[in-house]
Structure 1
Amino acid sequence: MTPVTYTVLRGRIKKRRFDPAYFFYGDNQFLIDELVQTITSAIVTPEFVSFDRSILHGDEITAEGILNAVETPPMASAKRVVVLSGVHKLSEKMRGILLDYLERPAPTTLLIVTAPKVKTNKGFYRKLTLRTTPVRLSNLNERDAVVWIRERVSSLGWSIDSEGARMLYNSIGSDQSYLANEIDKLTICAGEKTKITAGDVAAVAGKSRANSIFDLTDAIGRLDCHQSIALVNNLLAWGQRPSHILALILRHLLILLSLKCLKKRNASQAEMCRRFNLMPYYLGGYLRQSAMFTETVLRKRIRLIQLTEARLKSSHSAKTFELESLIYEMCMEDMNQHDQG
């Protein structure tokens, strides 16, 4: 079965459309845990969680234990929820028992099995995806992250518009655990206010924004190689993947290049914001950076990023080293041009 996306699954949960069994896998443990909790809250009566929900672990469970859990009817809930985490740690015997059960799952049980990032195109995991609803969970893209931010803020009793949510994403990145922490800070600082604005985000996430991709490109433009590499390492420490950092730098440079073209034909700032889905809050900084570089320099940097992307796809390539080498090469290229000038 083709994996269901996070957004599609959330929509089904809201409509209370549940399948007999799910397979959550991927490197975003925060989303896996959140979805398990969301489904549990939607199905299990709160006062009977200790009776109608079972949490099992792949490296500890026995055949008797898993069969008792999935075949026991709920006491006072719509269904019994059984969570089997670490399915990748199951023995061959236990994998067979699980697959046999999934041929005819109990109608009174909803089973969720979880694993880290695994290959699902063959063997046990392929069979598992065919007998469950598979959901691959990695870091959300910007569009889905903005939706997630707004829903999480709403669940806490506040509201935030798309501009504020997008600003938070651009400030913090795609790691849900960091975003959740910042949302908690925002709700505390909001006090009696019920709506969180972009201004609130700018005030609370200001320190976080110092580590943003915008400041990284700004440091490169100042030929500050040391600061640029420090910012790259900060982004990596915050959970940003090297490929994601490269994609953000590339998008940023493409915007700078396009803004130079729009400036030549006297496009309005409103058109610039609309063209690139930019917030007015950020446009001034983009225009300032765009004026710092010639078209030739921007095109050369874009080419350097594309070459680095190709090297990162090699499993033999040291990701951090490639990023640091890219930053160094960009800075040295500008220094050489300044010297020649």
Structure 2
Amino acid sequence: MPGGSVRLVSGADEILTATAVRAAVSELVGDANRADVIDEYSDDEYALADLVISASTPPMLATHRVVVGRRLSRFSATELAPLIDWLDDPCPTTDLVLEWDTARVPRALVEAAEAAGGQRIASDVPGGARNRRTWLTERLAEASVQFDARAGACIAEHLGEELSRLGAVIETLEAIYGAGARLGPDDVLPYLGAEGDVPPWELTDAIDRGDVGGALAVLGRMWGAGRHPLAVTAAVAGHITRVARLDGADAANEKEAARVLGLRGSTFPARKALDAGRRRGSGGIARAVELLAAADVDLRGRSGLDPRCVAEILCARLAAGAR
């Protein structure tokens, strides 16, 4: 008999969280009439007590009820108490879907959901380039259409940081081509929309390679995604500052470099800074710092140039200096 399950969906990305909730609800409804089964609480004014009462009420026109509570993070720990009490003795004919719209969920709620046999669903894209690639590959493999390797690479490059758009892209392609279709890059590219944002490390990597054209291309993606020039130059300045702090510190490897920089966790940024400093040398590092200082003044209005232009000149000069 259906009913008696709990799904706790959490994540800071609104699109991904909504997609995960929608998938959970569709699975739980199954072949039943949605109007007879679903009771959803989503407005900003609903009281948690109403959700608990609904979850405690047996179904009238179906074998089970699917009760959905959205945006639960607006409730305090005290306000969550009735829900946690309900999870201690859940109604066997109710499937409960809870949306916690941040990545961090109160421990009491997590423990109560797990004790009730609930399923925890983390909807956010994982951190780290490798984990993100794995996540994207898994989502593509789950689609009803098949993507060849070049199509997958095209989607990854086009979406960039905005992997939350992937679900909508897949739904569009499934609707257009139908289940079982095998797609290449020419099939998917027209339906990808605008190019997505890219992480700042793609810009600093291009700069460290001495790739002027690549750095400007990355900046173009950032402008298209609405990145502010001050945010871009701040990311570049952070990287160059790390490079400068390592100059003369005699760090022999990335672990020693991470200690000098006070970095915890991954030593990857330290390794990049260490490699960039060795490539530039002390004179090149000093020149890079001078370029940053000049750009900072220009961004405050000295040159009269558009801030994007200032950032582009800075990045081009830094890349040229890394050759």
Pick from 88, 104, 125 the counterpart of residue 73 of structure 2.
88
Pick from 106, 127, 131 the counterpart of residue 108 of structure 2.
127
Q: Which moved more, 1:71-80 or 1:110-119?
A: 71-80
Contact 2:198 2:222 survives alignment (8 Å): no
Pick from 125, 138, 148 the counterpart of residue 161 of structure 1.
148
Letter in 1 for 2:137: V
1:303 Cα deviation after fit = 8.8
Pick from 156, 172, 175 the counterpart of residue 159 of structure 2.
172
Aligned counterpart, 1:112: 97
- Residues 1-341 of structure 1 mapped to structure 2, 5 A cutoff: 20-57=5-42, 59-62=44-47, 64-75=49-60, 77=62, 79-90=64-75, 93-120=78-105, 125-132=106-113, 133-140=119-126, 141-152=132-143, 154=144, 158-183=145-170, 186=173, 194-202=181-189, 205=192, 208=195, 221-222=211-212, 228-235=218-225, 299-300=275-276, 331-336=316-321
Residues of 2 paired with 1:85 and 1:50: CA distance?
Answer: 18
Letter in 2 for 1:143: T
Structure 1 counterpart SS, 2:152: helix
Structure 1 counterpart SS, 2:8: strand
Structure 1 counterpart SS, 2:79: helix
Contact 2:49 2:82 survives alignment (8 Å): no
Structure 2 counterpart SS, 1:105: coil
1:87 Cα deviation after fit = 1.1
**For structure 2, which runs of at least 5 residues remain unmatched after alignment?**
114-118, 127-131, 237-271, 281-298, 300-307
Contact 1:163 1:198 survives alignment (8 Å): yes
1:79 Cα deviation after fit = 3.1
Letter in 1 for 2:125: N
Letter in 2 for 1:70: A
1:224 Cα deviation after fit = 7.8
Letter in 1 for 2:224: N
Q: Which has the larger radius of gyration?
A: 2
Q: Which moved more, 1:72-81 or 1:128-137?
A: 72-81
Letter in 1 for 2:136: A
Higher helix residue share: 1
Contact 2:7 2:98 survives alignment (8 Å): yes
1:105 Cα deviation after fit = 1.2
Contact 1:164 1:201 survives alignment (8 Å): yes
Alignment coverage as a number of residue pairs: 243
- Percent identity between matched residues is 17
Residues of 2 paired with 1:186 and 1:63: CA distance?
Answer: 38
- Name the CA shift for 1:188/1:108 in 2 (closer, same or farther; >3 Å): closer
Contact 1:81 1:111 survives alignment (8 Å): yes
**For structure 1, which runs of at least 5 residues remain unmatched after alignment?**
1-15, 247-295, 305-320
Contact 2:7 2:24 survives alignment (8 Å): no
Q: Deviations over 1:263-309 (max 9, x none)?
A: xxxxxxxxxxxxxxxxxxxxxxxxxxxxxxxxx999318999xxxxx
CA RMSD of aligned residues (A): 4.7
- Name the CA shift for 1:231/1:112 in 2 (closer, same or farther; >3 Å): same
Contact 2:103 2:124 survives alignment (8 Å): no
Letter in 2 for 1:233: W
1:207 Cα deviation after fit = 6.6
1:212 Cα deviation after fit = 6.5
Contact 1:45 1:76 survives alignment (8 Å): no
Letter in 2 for 1:234: G
Structure 2 counterpart SS, 1:170: helix
- Name the CA shift for 1:59/1:91 in 2 (closer, same or farther; >3 Å): farther
Residues of 1 paired with 2:275 and 2:92: CA distance?
Answer: 59
Residues of 2 paired with 1:189 and 1:20: CA distance?
Answer: 34
1:221 Cα deviation after fit = 1.6
Aligned counterpart, 1:283: none
Letter in 1 for 2:123: L
Q: Deviations over 1:85-137 (max 9, x none)?
A: 111222555311111111111111121221222544xxxx1100101143332
Residues of 2 paired with 1:203 and 1:49: CA distance?
Answer: 34
